[in-house]
Structure 1
Amino acid sequence: MDLHHHPSSSSSSPSKPLPTLDAGAALVLKSKGTWWHAGCHLTTAIVGPTILTLPYALRGLGWGLGLVLLSVMASVTFYAYLLMSRVLEHCERGGRRHIRFRELAADVLGSGWMLYFVVCIQGAINTGIGIGTILLAADCLQIMYSAASPNGPLKLYHFIIIVTVVLIIFSQLPSFHSLRHINLASLLMIIGYAVVVVAGCLNAGFSKNPPPRKYSLDSSKSNRSFNAFTSISILASIFGNGILPEIQATVAPPVAGKMLKALLLCYSVIFVTFYPVAISGYWVFGNEVNSNVLQSLMPDSGPSLAPTWLLGLAVVFILLQLVAIGLVYSQVAYEIMEKNSADVNQGTFSKRNLIPRIILRTLYMIFCGFVAAMLPFFGDVIGVVGAIGFIPLDFILPMLLYNMAIKPPTRSVMFMLNMFIMVVFTGVGIMGAFSSIRKLVLDANEFSLFSDNVVN
């Protein structure tokens, strides 16, 4: 199964001069990065506080099946991202360099409904994650504030304003490449809070009064099946990343081989964070684990199950990394804005380009902050978007793009494997969407516009 060379790819048309870059490409997606810069961008895009739901995902599957499916999801997404990178390289060798997901989809799939599907889903995911990160970061600030001042006057929306202002300031960094040092810090934050959470779980598990726990699955066969599909959907969403073409666009040419190194860096971080968090959290809390293992360590009633300073450190690390995630997923919106508002013939910091950038990026962040304040139950909405969006973009489209662009023989192992993955994850996406919509309906009675509490 050779991903590097294929008879079809070697017969690409001769290279043609690459087209002149538009302002969005030249100013936001400039190609100046190395493989490790791309690795940091990928890690921030994929690995986030959602890893704290991994013990909850194991709860619906049990030890054996849970760890097997975690490994399957990691393997399939690594394979899918590698395929998409190969398709991008294949198109570039043919003189068609694509730096945006929508351009790649239009070239390979045509400009019909599939293109609009990709554009709409990617836009919904990117904006949704921008809103969600503001909400979660504000929730982290509120947790710290409530611990220091239980009866203080500040409300959730005050913290949303604080986070939004911080993101407005950092959003003025002109290009995706400008985030390389922030995303390196983000990578370190990920490892930091994973270590802290694992330490907290081990502390609770080996304490004199460990939490009571059992690992049996639900006795009802229908509930057991539903819980399993919910867990599979969670695992699939955790590995989501709808911006790989934009990340690859930041790498300085020649790109060949560099994205494989970037993926290996990213998945090394995944290996040293996902498995310890999933195993330690499920081990100590079993079926009683919360959808966020950090909340299990600091329950609403009773004392914390780990030292307060340790849990506070985890919250700080998560807060800092959420800022990086918000900045990464905003780059697609900024690229679209600058493509239509900036002048590619003038400098990045020229008055002609600087003033529209400040205004448009500030308005975008204000919009995300306003929606976060208005809909503090956005996590449930994101669950639906994730099932409908991440699974098609990350588990189905890369295989479809590879089969259509590089055209492996229809009887080859690779073609059949790609078709099998597409069929399986179409089913997973449908079941995931159903379970997410069901949860949205069940939680509806807790929803309140501009509430002071985040609905988890």
Structure 2
Amino acid sequence: MATVAPNPMEVSKENSVTTPSKELDAGALFVLKSRGSWLHCGYHLTTSIVAPVILSLPFAFGLLGWAGGIICLTLGGSITFYSYNLLSLVLEHHAKLGQRQLRFRDMARDILGPGWGKYFVGPLQFFICFGAVIAGSLLGGQSLKFIYMLSNPNGNMKLYQFIIMFGVVMLGLAQMPSFHSLRYINLVSLILCLAFSACVTAGSIYVGHSKNAPTKDYNVIGSKENRIFGTFNAISIIATTFASGIIPEIQATIAPPVQGKMFKGLCVCYTVITVTYFSVGISGYCAFGNQALGTIISNFMGVDKPLLPTWFLLMINVFTLLQVLAVTLVYMQPTNELFEKKFADPKMNQFSMRNVVPRLISRSLSVIVGTTIAAMIPFFGDIMALFGAFGCIPLDFILPMVFYNVTFKPSKSSIVFWVNTSIALASMVLVGMGAISSVRQIVLDAQTYRLFANM
């Protein structure tokens, strides 16, 4: 018997997306299903922001010193919480008008004009999200290598082999059908980020008070030029740790009405952020001072032997590895949505052969390409710092201020207008200086660069 294709409006009702039928597309219907609660939103937000990149916070403190590190961390948290709430208010405003915006590029198109969404925000967000997938593959491979070296110190396996292993696991997980289907994975991710942060904090306190404690120096070292570039590099690192770049897509997963739900989700997320960021940053810098490395786990490995029991280091790395899987899955969703919008048919069932085959192919290719790049360029973290300067800061620090001012048109004599304008202008300066610092670091690392390096 022939199968009757579902009516687009019926599909829309099923997925709780309040979008006119003429605007329905497979990306919105199948990936950004609006069925979640504010609590699910909190899980998604936490996973998108609180990632193992926070293990670089002691290193950032080393470039800034005690006062600079704490001030920048506090400002980063305060500004992004404010910024994300502004985005949420703009999204709620348009939802009340009957035009719910489900994607960052939708906001740019409707508020600033079609060109902004198509040629600026859309490509920028795609490169940020796909870059995060590559970085996730690299971090996952590094965690696997740490685990391997702890259990087999004389092993000769290379980093790229572990990255490939991570990619194989991602091939299966990438087939999760929608953002909403990740809600319980992201709940586990929230627990894991609390777990590895608690372990890192406890490990730092233990090392700092042990008889083998490293010599601590809390002075910012280096030439004047290096200190200046180091300051902007550290600010970029801290800004990137708070970055999301997918706030509209996360809010799109909330079932209507959306009023007030994003604020509750952000409160859940920033409670976790406050606990984890300050504990990891302060304890790690307290233990190692300006000798803190790019990731605090490298410090724990020591020079001659690990500074912590092997079982404890294994536990930290397993928690980190599992959380990286969840983070990578979250940042795959905007790219999945884009591919499904292009290749899937919204008039057919999501699990029909017509839609399953292109989904399987596009997602698998996405993972394979990301894994290959991560294996080839193991100092991709430097490139992500550049992406962070050009992408994360505009999306998370500048555009929310612009969207709010254009949408609500606050008086030019109001505090809100000038706060938003000041944050946007200061962030533009940070984009320029962060980009220069990142390019400089890439040039320095490129001197020792080779494909598939075993870092």
Aligned mate of 1:424, from 407, 423, 426: 426
Letter in 2 for 1:186: S
Q: Which residue of 2 aligns with 1:85?
A: 88
**Secondary structure at the residue paired with 1:347?**
coil
User: Which residue is equivalent to 2:242?
Assistant: 239
Instruction: Tell me how far apart the structure 2 counterparts of residues 268 and 31 of structure 1 sit (CA, whole Å).
Output: 24
Alpha carbons 1:197, 1:311 under 8 Å: kept: no
Matched residue, 2:46: 43
Deviation at 1:153, TM superposition (A): 4.9
Alignment-mate amino acid for residue 411 of structure 2: P
Q: Measured at CA, do residues 341 and 114 of structure 1 come closer, stay the same or move farther in structure 2, by a change above 3 Å?
A: closer
1:134 aligns with 2:141: no
Contact 2:150 2:310 in 1 (8 A): no
Match of 1:112, SS state, is: helix
Give the drift of 1:89: 0.9
Distance between the aligned counterparts of 1:89 and 1:180, measured in 2?
A: 22
Deviations 1:154-204 (A, max 9, x none): 332322222112111111110000000110111111011101111111111
CA contact (8 A) 1:29 1:175 kept: yes
Gaps of 5+ in 1: 1-16
Q: Pick one of 144, 156, 159 that aligns with 1:156.
A: 159
2:249 is equivalent to residue 253 of structure 1: no
1:290 aligns with 2:290: no
- Pairwise CA distance, 1:114: 6.3
**2:394 corresponds to 1:392:** yes
Cα offsets for 1:394-427 (capped at 9, x unmatched): 1101000100111111111100100010111111
Deviation, 1:146, is 2.2
Shift of 1:339: 1.1
Residue pair 1:201, 1:306 contacting (<8 A) in 2 also? no
1:315 is matched with which residue? 317
- Indicate the RMSD between aligned Cα atoms, in angstroms: 1.4
CA deviation after TM superposition for structure 1 residue 305, in Å? 1.5
Distance 2:103 2:199 in 1: 37
Q: 2:149 aligns with which of 146, 151, 154?
A: 146
The aligned residue for residue 304 of structure 1 is 306
| In structure 2, C-alpha distance between the alignment counterparts of 1:264 and 1:64, rounded to whole Å | 26
Select 2:63's aligned residue among 60, 65, 70: 60
Work out the CA distance in 1 between the residues paired with 2:101 and 2:237: 30
Q: Which amino acid aligns with 1:34?
A: S
Check conservation: 2:105, 2:117, Cα contact below 8 A: no
**Structure 1 residue 221: deviation in Å?**
3.9
Where do residues 18-417 of structure 1 align in structure 2 (5 Å cutoff)? 18-20=19-21, 21-113=24-116, 115-218=118-221, 220-299=223-302, 301-417=303-419
The farther-off stretch of 64-73 and 172-181 is 64-73
What letter matches 1:210 in structure 2? A
Is the Cα contact below 8 Å between 1:55 and 1:279 reproduced in 2? yes
The 2-side partners of 1:230 and 1:286 are apart by: 17
Gap runs ≥5 in structure 2:
1-17
TM-score calculated relative to the size of structure 2: 0.93
- 2:139 and 2:393 map into 1 onto residues whose CA distance is 23
Give, in angstroms, the shift of residue 113 of structure 1.
4.8
Deviations 1:247-300 (A, max 9, x none): 00000000010000000000000011000111111111111111211111112x
SS of corresponding position for 1:260: helix
Deviation sequence 1:336-375 (CA, Å, 0-9, x none): 1111222222222222211221121111111111111221
**Other structure's SS at 2:114 match:** coil
Distance, in Å, in 1 between the alignment partners of 2:122 and 2:378 is 26
The count of residues paired between Structure 1 and Structure 2 equals: 436
1:157–1:65 distance in 2 versus 1, CA, 3 Å: closer
Q: Which amino acid aligns with 2:54?
A: I
Q: Which amino acid aligns with 2:283?
A: S
Tell me the residue number matched to 2:14: none
- 1:114 and 1:245, CA in 2 relative to 1: closer, same or farther beyond 3 A? closer
Distance 1:238 1:342 in 2: 34
**Percent identical:** 48
| SS, match of residue 216 in structure 2 | coil
Tell me the alpha carbon deviations over residues 42-82 of structure 1, each in whole angstroms, 9 at most, x when there is no partner: 11111111111111111122112221121011000000000
Q: CA deviation at 1:219?
A: 6.7
1:445 is matched with 447
